[in-house]
Amino acid sequence: MSRAVPEAELALVPLADGGEGTVEAFVTAVGGEVVSVRVTGPLGRPVDAFVGVLDDGQTAVIEMAAASGLPLVPEELRNPLVTTSYGTGELIRHAIELACERIILGIGGSATNDGGVGMIQALGGSFRDENGEEVGFGGRELVRIRSIDLSGLAPVFRDMSGAERNGYPEIPVARQCVALTVACDVDNPLTGPRGASAVFGPQKGATPEMVAELDAGLRNLAEVIRRDVGVDVENVPGAGAAGGMGAAAAAFLGAQLKPGIEIVMEVARFDEALEGASLVITGEGRVDGQTLQGKCISGVLSAARARGVPVVVLGGSIEPEGYGLLKAGAAAVLSIVDRPMTLAEACTRAGELLERAGEQVARMVATLG
């Protein structure tokens, strides 16, 4: 862009919506450090993950994708009946051990559909079958759950629920020891046609038969939570995020569910960067029907539109539904790809393609402006 308009003043603001890159966005925006942690991966094998500790020393930022993410599972092994969120719980436990008083958990990009059971098991919770035995890893185990015991849950979370803050006062709220905020970019309920299994299961390798089995398991989990914990999270907006992690975080850990982009923009002081701006350029790899449903671009567009700043959206691919951004106020929605190519090639050339597209946008704006 600076080649096209050398006199332009550029303000670079790293943003994310709770998926990959969230920790980097926070640490880049406010300072801090990234701490490496070895945890249990989605297939039950050790993986190297990380926790971001911000410059205040009291706030931890965690990406579920780092411990339980889809890229950690080879395509031929993707099966949400067996993948677990246990490693995400280990990251939370590590943040507690670092004496962090606030945890921001991004739950985008998950490989799991286990209702967050693995996460809670890692924090000391217990989910037992009809014989009183602990259930195993994966979404297929949910239908076997007959009781929940939270007596072993990490004391900073025990007996807590954040549902009242989420607008569900019928769910009791107890004392707060660690403030957990979940960066959640969807509003899907836990079960049903818009639930975790039906909408996101196929992306994680689920066949139609698996989707039905997974949904039945989540329904069973929701029923046991209602009975044993006194919490009804089945239809809470965002409960279905990350295979049910939203439900588990709200029911067991007192989490407040918020759009991830709102959290990141607040910390990164995005509104301040907009002051005096004449153009915003944003984007994501695939612009589609979900882009306006709480994802990064939607937050940027909303904030910029409120200040009357035009927004150009760049994407690796633009699905037909993605052009709905134009109706939502975007000035343009453009693909950075300059010819037919594979996804692998597009990813390899992403830097070059973005640079070229940015220059073209700048030249167009300068010419018209």
Q: What's the pLDDT score for residue 35?
A: 97
Q: What's the pLDDT score for residue 177?
A: 65
Q: What's the pLDDT score for residue 294?
A: 65
Q: Is the dihedral of CA 200, 203, 204, 210 positive or negative?
A: positive
Taking the C-alpha atoms of residue 129 and residue 149, their distance in angstroms, rounded to an integer, is 12
Q: What's the pLDDT score for residue 165?
A: 35
The whole model's pTM is what? 0.81
Structural domain boundaries in the chain: 22-258, 277-368
Question: Which residues of the chain fall below pLDDT 70?
Answer: 1-2, 4, 17, 158-177, 293-294, 369
Q: What's the pLDDT score for residue 210?
A: 98
Task: Name residue 352's amino acid.
Answer: E
The tokens describing 36, both together, are 């490496």
Q: What's the pLDDT score for residue 31?
A: 92
Q: What's the pLDDT score for residue 61?
A: 95
Taking the C-alpha atoms of residue 24 and residue 33, their distance in angstroms, rounded to an integer, is 9
Taking the C-alpha atoms of residue 330 and residue 324, their distance in angstroms, rounded to an integer, is 9
Q: What's the pLDDT score for residue 28?
A: 87
Residue 109 near residue 20, CB atoms below 8 Å: yes
Digit-coded pLDDT (tens) for 240-288: 999 999 999 999 998 988 887 888 788 778 888 888 888 999 888 888 8
Residue 145 near residue 163, CB atoms below 8 Å: no
Taking the C-alpha atoms of residue 66 and residue 70, their distance in angstroms, rounded to an integer, is 9
Q: What's the pLDDT score for residue 147?
A: 97
Same-fold call for 22-258 versus 277-368? no
Taking the C-alpha atoms of residue 258 and residue 250, their distance in angstroms, rounded to an integer, is 11
Taking the C-alpha atoms of residue 201 and residue 233, their distance in angstroms, rounded to an integer, is 19
Superfamily of domain 277-368: Glycerate kinase; domain 1 (3.40.50.10350)
CATH number, span 22-258: 3.90.1510.10
